[in-house]
Homo-oligomer: A and B are copies of this chain.
Amino acid sequence: MSNEQTEAKAALFATRQARVAQLRRRLARAEHEFLLVSGLPNIRYLTGFTGSSGYLLVAPDFLVLYTDGRYDIQARAQTRDVEVRISTVSVLLAFLEDLKKRRIRRLGFEQNRISFDTYQYLRGELRGGRFQPLNGLVEKLRMVKSDGEIDRIRASVDLNSCAFERVCHKARPNWSEARLASEIEYQMRRLGAERAAFETIAASRERSALPHAQPTVQNLRRNALIVVDHGAMLDGYASDMTRMICFGRVDQRQRELFEAVREAQLAAIGAVKAGVRAGTVDRSARKVLKKFKLEKEFSHSTGHGLGLEIHEPPRLGPKEDLRLRAGMVITIEPGAYVEGVGGVRIEDVVAVTNNGCEVLTKTPRHLRVL
C-alpha cells in the first residue's frame, strides 16, 4: 500500500471514530449506554463493514461486530478498533450470549431497522432486561454529509451521467424499454459501479405516465416521450437521475408538459438553501405546476436524501418541517403524469450549502432528442 493510500485509510478510520463519538453523545443524551445497530448501512457508516449480515453493539468504550463465517476475513480487514465475533450457528445467538457474559441488561435498538420477529425473539431472551426502541439516531447523523462523502456522491453522480451519455449514443427507436434499461445498467457496471442503485426505469409513450414503470418489451418508438430514471452505487454511495429523451419530435402538448416540469424543477432548486424547510422546497415546485394546472398530476414528493442508501432522510414532501442544513444531499425531482398524454420527470442531485446549493448532476436537463 502506498503512503497516500495508508493516509487515506487512516483518515477514513478517524472519520468513523468521530461518528461513533457523536453517536455515543446522542445515546448519552437519551440516557442510554448501549445500542444495538441492526441497519447494515448504519453499520457500514460507523465501522466500514460492508457484509450482508451483521449486528453492531455500541458501548461507551468498545464496539463489537457480530457476523457469520462468510465474512470472517473481510470483517477484520475492513474495520479497526472493532471486536469481531464470528458465529457459526446464529449471529443473534452469539450476540445474546455475549450480552449475558458482559452483564448488559439495558439496551437501545433501532426501531426502524428490526423486524417484529427479531424484536420479539430478543425481548423474550432479554427477560428482565430492558430493550428500548430508539428512532433513527444514526440516520440523523448520516443526513449531513462530510466533504469526503459529497465527493463520493459526486463521483457516483458523474459515473451515472457517463453511463447515460454512452447509451444515448447507441440507443435506437426499435430498442425495447428493457433493452434501454439493461444497456444503462451494463454501462454503469463497466464504468466501475458496484451495481444499479435501484431498478432502472425506462418507459415510453403512455407508459411514461406511470411514475414507477417497470421496463417492458415495448419498443421505444419515434415521436414519443421517454422517461429514463437510473442510479448507480459507487464506493458505497448512490446517485439518482431522471432525464427525458425522444427520437424524432414530440407534439406541442408534450413539449408544454416538459417545459412546465422543467420550470418547477428550477424553482425547487432555486429554493434550496441551508435553513429553509424541506416543505418549502416541495411547495415551490407545486406552485409552478399549479400555474400550469398540473398540480394534481404531481403525485409524489419533490425529493429525498441519498447517500449510503438510495432513499434516506430528509424527505421533501409538502408538509415536512425539517430545516435543510449545509451538507445534506438531496434529489430534486418534480414530475407531472397525464394519462393518455405521457409523463415527465426531471431529477438532479444537489448538495445544500449556506448560500443555496451545488447541483452535482452535470447532464444537461433539456429534452434530449436522439
CB within 8 Å of B: which residues of A? 50-52, 69-71, 73-74, 88, 109, 111-120, 133, 135, 178-179, 181-183, 185-186, 189-190, 192, 194-195, 199, 210-212, 214, 217, 299-300, 339
Contacts and interface: CB of A to CB of B under 8 A. Distances in A.
A343 to B, nearest CB: 11
Given A114-B116, A179-B189, 15 more contacts: A51-B212, A70-B210, A70-B212, A70-B299, A70-B300, A71-B212, A109-B116, A112-B115, A112-B117, A114-B115, A117-B135, A120-B133, A181-B189, A186-B186, A194-B214
Contact of A189 (B71, B73, B116, B186): B186
Copies in the complex: 2
A135 B115 CA distance: 13
A183 B118 CA distance: 37
Nearest to A38: B116
A208 to B, nearest CB: 12
Contacts of A115: 111-116
Contacts of A181: 189
Nearest to A299: B69
A313 to B, nearest CB: 14
A214 B109 CA distance: 29
Contacts of A185: 185-186, 189
Q: Which 9 A-B pairs have the closest CB atoms?
A: A182-B189, A69-B299, A186-B186, A70-B212, A116-B119, A70-B211, A112-B117, A114-B116, A111-B117
A114 B185 CA distance: 31
Nearest to A118: B116
Nearest to A212: B70
A235 to B, nearest CB: 12
A29 to B, nearest CB: 21
A19 B192 CA distance: 44
A179 B190 CA distance: 6
A182 B163 CA distance: 13
Nearest to A135: B117
Contacts of A111: 115-117, 120
Contacts of A211: 69-70
Given A186-B182, A299-B88, A212 B116 contact: no
Candidate in A50, A116, A118 with the most chain B CB atoms within 10 angstroms: A116
Nearest to A194: B214
A211 to B, nearest CB: 5
Candidate in A109, A190, A217 with the most chain B CB atoms within 10 angstroms: A190
A285 to B, nearest CB: 16
B190 A182 contact: yes
Contacts of A50: 214
Contacts of A113: 115
Contacts of A189: 178-179, 181-182, 185-186
Contacts of A299: 69-70, 88
A26 to B, nearest CB: 19
Contacts of A135: 117
A116 B38 CA distance: 12
Nearest to A53: B212
Contacts of A114: 115-116
6 contacts: A71-B212, A73-B210, A111-B120, A112-B117, A116-B116, A185-B185
